[in-house]
Amino acid sequence: MTPIYKVLINNNTIIKPIWVMRQAGRYLPEFREIRSKNPDFIKLCLNEKLSAEITLQPLKRFDLDAAIIFSDILMLPYGLNQKVEFKKGIGPILGDLDLDSILKLNENNFVEKLSPIYKLVNLINNSELTKNKNTIGFVGAPWTLLVYMINQKSPKCGLKNDFFKDKNLTSKILNIIEKFLKVHIKHQVKNGAQIIQIFDSWAGLLNDKDLPNYVYEPTIKLVEYTKTLNIPTICFPKGIKKYKDYCETVKPDAICIDYDVDPKEILKNIKIPVQGGMDPKILLTDQENLKKEAKRYLEIFKDHPYIFNLGHGILPDTDPEMMDYLVKTVKDF
C-alpha cells in the first residue's frame, strides 16, 4: 500500500507522506521553459504528452509521494463550451455563459473534448516514476466553479453585484456542474486516478448561513459519488472557519487546511486525516525558518493521520532548493 493510502485508508499516524499543491508549476525552470513555448494554457493542458512531462517534473527532482495531474479546474467550463482564457498578470477570463447550449450538451461531447486529460492520467499512472506513489486527480468544487462561470474572472476583488440575483439560474448551473463533475471524476478514476482532491478555493467568500446550500450540499454529492467508485476524496474548502461542521457534514476521507487555520484547533476538533496547512510564503524565507515551521506542523500532527502539504499552492517565486529542503525535512522527521 502506498504511504498516502496508509494515512487515508488505514489512519496510519507514523508515516508522514508529502506532496505539494502546484508542485508542477512556475517555480520550476523546466516548467517555465515548456510554458514559454506554449502560450495557450488550455492547449497545453490538452496536450497529454507535454502535460505528462510537466506532471512528472517535480517527481524527478524530489522524493514526493504523489503526482497530481497537470490540468486545471477550469477545464470543466471549457468542456461545457464556455470560453476560458488565461491572461498573463490577470488570470483566467471566461466568456459569456450560454445556458441553452449547456443544457443541450451531452456526456459524449464533453468526454471527447476533455479526452487528453484522461489519457494524461493513464500516462502518469503507468509511469515508472509513480511506482508506490499515488496519482491524484482533481476537480473544482461546484461552488468555486459557479463563481468562475458566473463572475467570468477571479473574484479577488469581489463577486459581481448581481451574482445572486437569478437564483433559478444559479441552481440550474450548479446542477449542470455537478452532473459533469461526476463524469469528469468517473473518467479520471477509470484511467487510474487513485485519489480525488476537490478544490473549493472560494468557499471563504460565503457567509456561514450560505455554506449548506452552496458548499456542503453540492460537495456531499461528489464525495458520495466518488465513494461509490471506491476512491478516497480530499476536500480543500479554503477560507472557511467551520472546518468541524464541514467535516461532519461533507464527510470527505481527509481535509486539507489552509494557512489561516490554527492547526491545534484542527487537531482538537477533527477526527479524520488532515493534509496541509503550512503557509507557502515560508518557502520564501530561509532554511532554518522553513525547518522550524515544517516541524511545527509535523509535531502538532505527530499522533494524527497527516499528509504534509502547504496551505495553498507553492508560489512561483519559490527557489526549488527550498522545496528540496522541505521534502528532505519531512522525510527525515
Binding site for ligand CP3 (CB under 6 A): 21-26, 35, 41, 68, 70-74, 86, 91-92, 138, 154, 199, 201, 313
Cα 85 to Cα 44: distance, rounded to the nearest angstrom: 12
Cβ-based neighbour number of residue 230 at 10 Å:
8
Taking the least distance from each CB to ligand CP3, the nearer of 69 and 174 is 69
C-alpha cell at 274: 488532515
Q: What is the DSSP string of 226-254?
A: HHHTT--EEEEETT-S-HHHHHHHH--SE
Taking the least distance from each CB to ligand CP3, the nearer of 24 and 114 is 24
Residue nearest to ligand CP3 as judged by C-beta position: 201
Cα 167 to Cα 163: distance, rounded to the nearest angstrom: 9
Cα 141 to Cα 145: distance, rounded to the nearest angstrom: 6
Taking the least distance from each CB to ligand CP3, the nearer of 86 and 163 is 86
Tell me the closest approach of the beta carbon of residue 285 to ligand CP3, in angstroms: 21
Place of cell 488565461: 86
Taking the least distance from each CB to ligand CP3, the nearer of 3 and 280 is 280
Query: Do 44 and 38 touch, CB atoms closer than 8 A?
Result: yes
* Residues in Cβ contact with 319 at an 8 Å cutoff, skipping those fewer than 6 apart: 27, 283
Taking the least distance from each CB to ligand CP3, the nearer of 70 and 243 is 70
SS3 sequence of 170-196: HHHHHHHHHHHHHHHHHHHHHCCCCEE
Tell me the closest approach of the beta carbon of residue 60 to ligand CP3, in angstroms: 14
Tell me the closest approach of the beta carbon of residue 175 to ligand CP3, in angstroms: 21
Tell me the closest approach of the beta carbon of residue 117 to ligand CP3, in angstroms: 11
Tell me the closest approach of the beta carbon of residue 320 to ligand CP3, in angstroms: 14
